[in-house]
Amino acid sequence: MAINVTRRQFFKLGGAGLATSSLAVMGFAPEPAEASIRQFKLTHAKETRNTCTYCSVGCGILIYSKGDGAKNVEQNVFHIEGDPDHPVSRGSLCPKGAGLLDFVHSDGRLAYPQVREAGSDEWKRISWDEALGRIARHMKDDRDANFVQRNAQGQTVNHWTTTGFLAASGSSNEAGYITHKVVRTLGMVAFDNQARV
């Protein structure tokens, strides 16, 4: 098959190409064919605006999910593509972003709280109540035992150095803000996020 593409088309293709193996979706089919495929695929889908979770360019994405809103139906994400309105990305995604759907549905996603007991070689599923209860107990015991109100020089320091916290620069500002608010209020200082590395 002879395919003529301009440099510009090729550039677009490089960005959009990885997620789809279908040549039609890659732009080689006549426009009407492409349009009909898209329409068919996205009919009845719910469109949600989001931002790519990988790098800091912040490309706009459209997430398509199925689910008719019924009480016992959950939305299921089945397609993700670039947002053509976005002033930076203008609908493009790179090879990382083109695989976002497989991140959402990865086999590596965790689904339940688990614990690995000291010395054990396996995970054990536990409830949220047990997990948070045990973690809070550990934290309070350590904080009460090791919180320093005054240091050796008699200076007020009010810090807790024996439990540390790494926050996530893949999480939202809102998660980051409440994390900071809680962590500092507890007196923690060994506190960083990926910006440190």
Partner 1 sequence: MTNHWVDIRNANLILSMGGNSAEAHPVGFRWVTEAIEHNKAELITIDPRFTRTSAVAQDRAFIRTGSDIAFLGGLISYLIETDQIQREYVLNYTDAALIVRDGYGFEEGLFSGYDEATRSYDKQSWMYEKGDDGFVRRDDSLSDPRCVYQLLRGHYARYTPDMVSSISGIPVADIQRIWKKIAAMAVPDKTMTILYALGWTQHSIGSQIIRAAAMVQLLLGNMGMPGGGVNALRGHSNIQGLTDLGLLSQLLPGYMTLANAKEQGYRAYIDKRTKQPTVAGQVSYWKNYEKFHVSLMKAWYGQAATADNDWCFDWLPKLERPLYDILDTFERMSKGELTGYFCQGFNPLASFPDRAKITRALSSLKYLVVMDPLNTETSEFWKSYGEYNDVDPSQIDTEVFRLPTCCFAEDDGSIVNSARWLQWHWAAAPPPGESRPDTRIMGELFLRLKQLYQTEGGVFPEPILNLTWDYKIPHEPKSEELAREFNGYALEDLTDAQGQVVRRAGEQLSGFGELTADGKTTAGCWIFTGCWTEAGNQMARRDNADPYGTGNTLGWAWAWPANRRVLYNRASADVQGRPWGANKAFVWWSAAQGRWIGADVPDFPPTSAPSEGQMPFIMQPEGVGHLFAGQSMVDGPFPEHYEPFESPVPQNLLHPGKPKVRNNPAARIFDEDRAALGTPEEYPHAATTYRLTEHFHYWTKHARLNAIVQPQQFVEIGEKLAEEIGVAAGDWVKVSSKRGFIKAVAVVTKRLKPMTVGDRQVHHVGIPLHWGFTGVAKKGYLVNALTPFVGDANTQTPEYKSFTVRVEKA
**Footprint on residues 58-97 left by partner 1 (CB under 8 A):** 58-60, 63-65, 67, 74-77, 80, 85-90, 92-97
Supply 57's token pair: 């360019």
Query: Interface with partner 1 includes 136 (CB under 8 A)?
Result: yes
* DSSP at 78: E
Query: Interface with partner 1 includes 25 (CB under 8 A)?
Result: no
Residue 23 or 190: which CB sits closer to partner 1? 190
Report the site for partner 1 in 138-197 (rule: CB under 8 A).
Answer: 138-140, 142-144, 146-147, 149, 151, 153, 155-197
Strand partners, 155: none
In angstroms, what CA-CA distances link 67 with 38, 77, 97, 106, 111? Answer: 18, 9, 24, 20, 21
Determine the longest span between alpha carbons in the chain, in angstroms.
81
Taking the C-alpha atoms of residue 94 and residue 13, their distance in angstroms, rounded to an integer, is 10
Query: Interface with partner 1 includes 26 (CB under 8 A)?
Result: no
Cβ at position 11, least distance to partner 1 in Å: 7
Report the site for partner 1 in 110-129 (rule: CB under 8 A).
Answer: 110-121, 123, 128
Length of the chain: 197
Query: Interface with partner 1 includes 22 (CB under 8 A)?
Result: no
Sign of CA dihedral 51, 52, 53, 54: negative
Choose the binding region for partner 1 from 22-30, 31-39, 52-60 (rule: CB under 8 A): 52-60
What is the separation of C-alpha 104 from the centre of its chain, rounded to a whole number of angstroms? 8
Taking the C-alpha atoms of residue 188 and residue 161, their distance in angstroms, rounded to an integer, is 6
Query: Interface with partner 1 includes 10 (CB under 8 A)?
Result: no
Residue 38 or 96: which CB sits closer to partner 1? 96
Cβ at position 5, least distance to partner 1 in Å: 16
